[in-house]
Structure 1
Amino acid sequence: MSVQDYYEKDYYAELGVPKTATSAEIKKTYRKLARELHPDKNPGNKQAEEKFKAASEAYDVLSDNDKRKEYDEARDLIASGAFRGFQGNAPGGGTAGGAGGFDLGDLFRNAGGADGGAGGIGDLFGGLFNRGTAGGSRVRARRGADLETAVTLTFEESMNGTLVPLRITERGTCDTCHGTGARPGTSPHTCPVCHGSGLITRNQGSFAFSEPCQNCSGTGSIIDDPCPTCHGERTVEKTRTLKTRIPAGVSDGTRIKLAGRGEPGLGGGPAGDLYVVVHVRKHRLFGRSGDNLTLTVPVTFPELVQGTTLTVPTLTDAVSLRVPAGTASGRKFRVKGAGVVRKNHTGDLIVTVEVSIPQKLSSEATKALTEFAAATPDDPREAITSAIAAKAGA
């Protein structure tokens, strides 16, 4: 990605959030988009796939406080018109073209330290430009991109943990040309304009400014006969499969980080990270609240009045639950240790009993219900009835 590509991308617009959005708002919005646009949900839909990749790229920057700060600073500085020398227009209307341009890596190197301000905005721009180090090496080591994929588990798999295969599509070194970009049997030659540096230096008064060489697009080499596989790009899309264990007790929407399993680094740089977003299917009986499982059990009116013993299921077996006489509909009972099992904690099963109201009654049932009502003349709404009568008499 070039500096121009970087600042022209509006990651806030990709996610549909304002620049003032909090980390929680960004996370919530991204998860919603990821569920809607994921390739598994939109097979064969290239537009949805591209939007998914764009949203993931935006979230990778905006979810990291350091990356987000650097990104905001970069766009604000370029939008102000402070930097010249790159083709195209800076955001905010500032013209980015000109006779000469700032070498952004050099500009921020002094602000961040001798090595380009590692961890700061100088390091960010230096990486994007493939800037050389003080030793004169043209290609500097750069960390590989972070990747993201998603898996869908059954409720039981999320409770017990499982081993899942992950199919990852990424850009990797072309196997035909081994990363040279040239047709096998040929090789690139050094750019005669920049002499392999990838940069052109212009002197303006007391200052020297650098910009990418237009002749070789900043690569430092010219490919006369491009590779028929990668067409001179040096990399191609590759698919790899790996397996990872999803821990027991994982919840829907959890984002698991697999360090170093992302895209390979460039120039000897470290690989990026792989993030696995977990989606969990709903269970036909159980719900979940934190580490507790929830279950609603229908009961009859006589069972609540007279009391009963219920047999209720858990994820592993069944337990007996005593419902005392006079229990109200909606009361909750706790079954200790029958919830989500984690490494250092186990939740409970929360059972709610709810009276089941029959939609039709036989003549015998209707007669019995009428006799029951006559035998229990107490008004269950006495307080409300008294309040109404008091207002009527006022």
Structure 2
Amino acid sequence: MATKRDYYEVLGVDRKASDDDIKRAFKRLAIKYHPDRNKDPDAGEKFQEINEAYQVLSDPAKRQAYDAGGFEAVDSSFGGGAGQGFDPFGGAGADFADIFDTIFGGAAGGRSRQRRSSGPVPQRGRDMRVVIDLTLEEAVKGITKDIKLNVLSTCPECHGEGTKDPKSRKECPYCHGSGVLVQSNGIFRVQRTCSHCNGEGTVLTKPCKRCNGSGRVLQQRTVKINIPGGLDTGQYVTLAGEGESGIHGGPSGDLIAVVRIKEHKLFKRDGDNLYCEVPISFTTAALGGKVTVPTLDGKIALTIEPGTQTGTTFRLANKGIQPPIAGRRKGHLFCTVVVETPVNLTDYQKDLLKKLDESLSGEEGKDDGKGNAAQSKSKSSDSQPSIKKFIDNMAEFFKNSGQK
């Protein structure tokens, strides 16, 4: 394919679609476009596109990476992306097996029945996602957090077996141990997962009272999460095996801790750089001086040159954030000065400012009645070049337009 389509568009689902919505859309499209059933020349290409989209969106970690950074984020985080090494039974697992059962009837069904007749199949537990709110200081330095989670864990009464009596596990009377129900539909034999035993081929006559035969119960536990310094909002830490417990002896899922940094009163972050607005008095801006500014390492003195204008930005090298990736340089701190106009002046202060203004402007700015600004009798206007330039431009504008 020349251009990749958005994975959500490929499956025809909304970006907020649930896992079940994504799975249903995948199965419907995979059956429709499987090359052995659809003879359209483009069917094979569409089938692979559907599989690639599902392999990403059905995996919580890959889906999060894709939502945050698109195709490149998946490629860089998971070693080559979803489309490489296409394996119809590897990425989608049991979902593809069910689809093949539907398409091929007895051929795939034979494999499926053989697989399920041996009893419940171990299944990996689902990954869990938790958002960790951090202050900027915590995110920069790194921190260990203890969080409480309600997690589906192995039942302590039956140890995940679903029953205390192994002999109570009997062959399902509806599918006769195959785990699937077969229905003829014209030239096709349609197979679907047996809803009575959930495809396991067996049922429990004496299920565990604690977990009702599921083998898992909801329990609260405390997990310690070590968050390295330098992470930004949306980045995450994966704790292997700390997610939901597996089913029938399957491995546990992972816990994905996503960082979210709180708004800071002084700094704004952009990647590894920090930005800060520093208010200064108009006398400091005019005469120059030193002001104290904050950094992550403490206070430092910033030199303000005479005549500094509001909006002037100073770069403090290597005063930003050290990224967690080895070999990357530390960011910078950018301080933008904002000249503060004094308020709530006394009459005495107002008189002083008026005298200062007179000494700076002289007669500059007074209109001679012909749309021309009079020339100042002194060169004191040079101390306010922006005002002088504005007045000159305004005079030229009115002269050219014929207005007064």
TM range (shorter): 0.5 to 0.7
Which stretch shifts more, 327-336 or 286-295? Answer: 286-295
Question: Where does structure 1 lack aligned partners over 5 or more consecutive residues?
Answer: 1-16, 31-54, 63-67, 81-115
Contact 2:216 2:245 in 1 (8 A): no
Contact 1:133 1:140 in 2 (8 A): no
- Aligned counterparts of 1:135 and 1:187: Cα–Cα separation in 2: 18
User: 1:347 maps to which residue?
Assistant: 331
Normalised TM-score (structure 1): 0.66
Is 1:261 matched with 2:242?
A: yes
Contact 1:308 1:323 in 2 (8 A): yes
Equivalent in 354, 358, 362 of residue 374 of structure 1: 358
- Aligned counterparts of 1:351 and 1:229: Cα–Cα separation in 2: 61
Deviation, structure 1 residue 317 = 1.4
Q: Deviations over 1:246-274 (max 9, x none)?
A: 11122223233334432233455443332
Q: Deviations over 1:202-231 (max 9, x none)?
A: 678987654444554533333334322222
User: 1:321 maps to which residue?
Assistant: 302
- Aligned counterparts of 2:200 and 2:10: Cα–Cα separation in 1: 37
Question: Where does structure 2 lack aligned partners over 5 or more consecutive residues?
Answer: 1-5, 34-86, 102-110, 362-380, 382-386
Equivalent in 207, 220, 230 of residue 226 of structure 1: 207
Q: Deviations over 1:16-68 (max 9, x none)?
A: x995399xx94xxx6xxxxxxxxxxxxxxxxxxxxxxxx7x54xx99xxxxx6
Aligned residues: 306
User: 1:20 maps to which residue?
Assistant: 9
Contact 1:74 1:121 in 2 (8 A): no
Contact 1:176 1:184 in 2 (8 A): no
Which stretch shifts more, 360-369 or 208-217? Answer: 208-217
Contact 2:113 2:179 in 1 (8 A): no
Instruction: Give identity over the alignment, percent.
Output: 31
| Change in 2 beyond 3 A, CA 1:358/1:287 | same
* Superposition map of 1:161-172 within 5 A: 161-172=142-153
Taking only aligned residues, the RMSD between alpha carbons, in angstroms, comes to: 3.8
| Change in 2 beyond 3 A, CA 1:337/1:154 | same
Partner AA of 1:75 in structure 2: R
Contact 1:142 1:265 in 2 (8 A): yes
User: 1:111 maps to which residue?
Assistant: none
SS in 1 for 2:9: coil
User: 2:28 maps to which residue?
Assistant: 75
- Aligned counterparts of 2:209 and 2:112: Cα–Cα separation in 1: 28
- Aligned counterparts of 2:166 and 2:357: Cα–Cα separation in 1: 97
The structure with the largest alpha-carbon Rg is 2
| Change in 2 beyond 3 A, CA 1:120/1:241 | same
Contact 2:116 2:199 in 1 (8 A): no
| Change in 2 beyond 3 A, CA 1:201/1:20 | closer
Partner AA of 1:387 in structure 2: E
Deviation, structure 1 residue 161 = 0.5
Equivalent in 299, 311, 314 of residue 292 of structure 2: 311
- Aligned counterparts of 2:91 and 2:295: Cα–Cα separation in 1: 52
Contact 1:138 1:198 in 2 (8 A): no
Contact 2:165 2:206 in 1 (8 A): no
Deviation, structure 1 residue 134 = 5.6
Deviation, structure 1 residue 360 = 1.3
Is 1:359 matched with 2:343?
A: yes
Is 1:387 matched with 2:379?
A: no
SS in 2 for 1:20: helix
| Change in 2 beyond 3 A, CA 1:376/1:203 | closer
